[in-house]
Structure 1
Amino acid sequence: MKRIIFSLAFFIFLIVPIRLYSEQSQGLTSEELALKIEEKYNSLKTLSINFQEEIKSEDFSTLRKFKGKMYLKNPNKFRIEMPSQVVVSDGEYIWVYSKENKQVTKNRTDKSKDLLRPNDYLFNFRKNYNYNLEGEKKIAGKNCYKMVYTSKTEGEFFTRITVFFEKESLLAQRIEYQDLNDNYTTLSFKEIKADVGISDSRFVFNPPAGVELVDLTEMGGKKE
């Protein structure tokens, strides 16, 4: 009996330090980490990012992959360039240009609910989402925090967003999100360059000749 008690005590002795070490390794709470991330991004003037996008959907059987370029400028300007599409915002308006359809749609930023804007999940996500630190994961050889965002209100187009922030730099390395149509999208970031010179003119879209403009900034929209 004494031997059993001793073995149990020894087992507990081993487990408790491991548990304490695990809890301490977490380091930051969700709120503390969120504040640090937002402080980091809001301290940057610009970001230039190369990325690869992967989309899974019930609408097509194969995994779709694209490569693109993203430009961000504080506080709310961005430009996303992909082979078939360009999305540009000066903070007030958003232009979505479809190269295949030779058409660009212009709308107010606050009316474009079905577009995932980088500013929303990087610069001020505490305002837009519920968020939770759900451990750590290695992404492309880098140790990252795993932050999960969920909608604050029902009916939001993007239901769940997972962002992996590198522990050392606090810069996002991968974004995974799901929308109401059950599309699953992954953005893998590469060649992240901070505070590079980016002109404001990059965040205004001037339609090429022969491209139809659909202006939705007024009720009902109008074509030009």
Structure 2
Amino acid sequence: MKLMALLLSWLLLVAGSLPAIADEELTNVLRALETPFKVSTPAEQQIRDFAADFVQLSTVVAIDRVQRGEGKVWFKFPPQSRTGSVMPKFRWDYRLPNEQQVLSDGTTLWVYVPENRQVIVSEVGEVEAEYGDNPAAFFTGLGDLAQNFAIAWGKSRRNEAGDYILLLTPKRPSQFFKRIEVIVNQQAVAESHQGGNPQVFPLVATQVTDPQDNLTRITFVDVGWNLDPADTEFVFEVPEGVEQLSPAAQMPGL
């Protein structure tokens, strides 16, 4: 698995106003996705953090190869990140196809592959400066997606399971990706008009297409939220004997 594909999976908006959308159904689906992450949403209705098992399918178009990854993911959204000023904290623990960890406390990024006895350490700001916007923009500003993305339906409005498909196209060029497909839970959309605490996690899956048309699809399974994980869970403690590598611009493929 190449590091670039890994970054595409999660390196994932700042505050902005949603332009008028003529399609009422599209507006409703977007509202269901964004509302739990908006700073203006009542505290008891917000999603402040989440944890899930995930399945990742990475497709390399040039050789028609699909690689499967599995693991556990955690996200924690500091209040400031709801306005787009601070990156969320996150942690991806892969068990397949090989063990590796990707962590960020919102400022520093660690990519650790135990079998290599190496950890790549970089600053999130350095990655953005080198490569431009990345898919983390999606996770950073789930409460308001319009400033960095043009939003439309996917090739169809729904998939076979009945969930909705949104297509997000970045407004600025990026070396990381050229579009993100987002699957929104149909039940979350149906319940979004009722208010109250979230009963269904709205995000089912994401699929990132990079500039070479390679695909990285992540499906979230068994999601729990508002678990209040400790901030220390998102800081990597370098084991003894593990080599630290930098900078981000020189990260090798994994």
- What TM-score do you get using the length of structure 1 for normalisation? 0.73
Gaps of at least 5 residues in structure 2 are 1-22, 39-45, 79-87, 190-201
In 1, distance between residues paired with 2:141 and 2:184? Answer: 11
In 2, distance between residues paired with 1:93 and 1:124? Answer: 24
Distance 1:216 1:81, change over 3 A: same
Displacement after TM superposition at 1:93 (Å): 1.4
1:149 to 162, 165, 168: 168
- Structure 1 counterpart of 2:158: 137
- Structure 1 counterpart of 2:105: 90
Whether 1:39 aligns to 2:35 is yes
Whether 1:28 aligns to 2:25 is yes
- What TM-score do you get using the length of structure 2 for normalisation? 0.66
Displacement after TM superposition at 1:121 (Å): 7.1
Whether 1:175 aligns to 2:195 is no
Distance 1:120 1:133, change over 3 A: farther
Residues 70-89 of structure 1: CA deviation (Å, up to 9, x unaligned): 10111311111113321111
Q: What secondary structure sits across from 1:111 in the alignment?
A: helix
Check the 8 A contact 2:93/2:100 in 1, yes or no. yes
> Which AA in structure 1 matches 2:157?
E
> Which AA in structure 1 matches 2:181?
T
In 2, distance between residues paired with 1:191 and 1:220? Answer: 36
Counterparts in 2 of 1:32-71, with a 5 A limit?
33-42=29-38, 43-58=46-61, 60-71=63-74
- Structure 1 counterpart of 2:177: 158
Q: What secondary structure sits across from 2:146 in the alignment?
A: helix
In 2, distance between residues paired with 1:189 and 1:53? Answer: 9
- Structure 2 counterpart of 1:21: none
Residues 73-128 of structure 1: CA deviation (Å, up to 9, x unaligned): 11311111113321111111111112332211222223324664362474553333
**How many pairs were matched up?**
192
Whether 1:208 aligns to 2:245 is no
Seq. identity, %? 23
1:112 to 103, 121, 127: 127
Q: What secondary structure sits across from 1:202 in the alignment?
A: helix
Q: Which has the higher contact order (CA 8 A, sep 6+)?
A: 2
- Structure 1 counterpart of 2:226: 195
- Please say which structure displays the higher CA radius of gyration: 1
Gaps of at least 5 residues in structure 1 are 1-25
Q: What secondary structure sits across from 1:34 in the alignment?
A: helix
Check the 8 A contact 1:58/1:182 in 2, yes or no. yes
Runs of 4+ aligned residues of structure 1 deviating over 6 Å after TM superposition are none
Check the 8 A contact 1:85/1:99 in 2, yes or no. yes
- Let me know the Cα RMSD of the aligned residues: 2.8
Residues 10-54 of structure 1: CA deviation (Å, up to 9, x unaligned): xxxxxxxxxxxxxxxx74344x54344222134112101111001
Residue range with higher mean Cα deviation, 145-154 or 120-129: 120-129
Whether 1:80 aligns to 2:77 is no
> Which AA in structure 2 matches 1:45?
R
